[in-house]
Amino acid sequence: MIDINNFEELFYYSHTKALFLLIIFIIFGRSFIINLKNKENDWKRKAWVNGIVSSISFIVLVFMPLDK
């Protein structure tokens, strides 16, 4: 059986994980902008991957609560 504490741990994250997600958001978001501006070889796929990773990290930061 899943204990309620284990279930809550799935939906809460620590401040360290939040910092890690913020760094991922910044790095992949910046890489997305660079790929979009340069439009070098295979830029569409790189922009999509960077955009999706950046969006997922942003959504997690915004909608999932931090630990107390």
- Do 14 and 61 form a contact (C-beta atoms < 8 A)? no
Beta bridge partners of 13: 66
pLDDT of residue 8: 66
What is the separation of C-alpha 30 from the centre of its chain, rounded to a whole number of angstroms? 13
Owner of token pair 């790095």: 27
pLDDT of residue 54: 96
pLDDT of residue 14: 83
pLDDT of residue 65: 82
Cα–Cα distance, 13 to 65 (Å, whole number)? 7
Q: Would the pTM of this model clear 0.85, i.e. be above it?
A: no
Q: Token pair for residue 52?
A: 């999706």
